[in-house]
Amino acid sequence: MMLRTTASRVLDDGDRDEVMAILDADPVTNVFVASRVRSVGLNPARLGGQMWGFGPRGGLISLCYAGANLVPVNAGPEAVHAFADRARRQGRRCSSIVGPADAVELFWERMEPSWGPARAIRWAQPVMATTAPSPIPADPLVRRVRPEEFETVLPACVAMFTEEVGVSPDAGGGGALYRSRVAELIRIGRAYARIDDGKVVFKAEIGAVTPQACQIQGVWVHPDLRGQGHAAAGMAAVVKHALDCFAPVVSLYVNDYNAPARAAYRKAGFKEVDTFMSVLF
């Protein structure tokens, strides 16, 4: 029988130093959660959710970000069970569970009877990272997207999201929030694209940034132009910008069955460093 040493608790800004110590111990795996905490702290109103902790104040062991996504951090079996207990009592408020595969699989095993069925499960998503410029030439036409190009790039972003997640970001009234996020990434200089005569050839964004790592998301090549090397060359350009402007480690995660994308990322210099799992609702 598992020894239940403590229940989870909702953290606040008084726990910030302990939280950051846990997050910074694995900056690539934890880049999404760490970027949120660094930006807004642990107050739920600013964080857009709660941060749950496992372990007493002064002895924090594990975390779970419970917002639009539910993300376990450094969570062993006891912590996962404690977080699952809280999640079950609270009810599902997230659109996905995502994070290290072992923790997410155990979490979902506990939650499926009350939260299931899932819309989709991505059992293995390799986390890839690089610390060096790509070994292949970067596409010189990939550049930061300008604010006035928002309407040009938005359809490509919607197409990428729909293809990747399986539903449109406009579903369930989420269109305005999605447009706002795309516009914000453009405004702060973290959206990149190659645009030829008003047509988006390649695009990607840097979604999460900390001083230790950043994470590329939303990689997309126009369907008519796939298989021509645009993904690898485009990623080489984004990696160069990311290393120059944002962080010393550039990461991403990808579905294991997406062989063309994985090959393009490897060609651009990425190596697999971990495995995520995602449960989508």
- Tell me what percent of the residues of the chain surpass a pLDDT of 70: 98
Domain end call among 117, 148, 180: 117
Segments of the chain scoring below 50 in pLDDT: 1-4
Q: What is the pLDDT of residues 151-172, one digit of tens each?
A: 999 999 999 999 998 899 988 7
**What pLDDT, on the 0 to 100 scale, is given for residue 46?**
94
Q: What is the pLDDT of residues 225-246, one digit of tens each?
A: 999 999 999 999 999 999 999 9
Pairing of strands 62-66, 214-221: unpaired
Cβ atoms of 73 and 52 within 8 Å: the answer is no
For 15-29, letters b (16+ CB in 10 Å) and e give beebbbebbeebbbb
Range of the domain at 105: 8-117
**What pLDDT, on the 0 to 100 scale, is given for residue 174?**
73
**What pLDDT, on the 0 to 100 scale, is given for residue 6?**
66
Q: Coil, strand, or helix at residue 191? A: strand
281 inside domain: no
**What pLDDT, on the 0 to 100 scale, is given for residue 56?**
85
279 inside domain: no
Same domain, residue pair 113 and 213: no
CATH of the domain at 140: 3.40.630.30
Domain end call among 77, 93, 117: 117
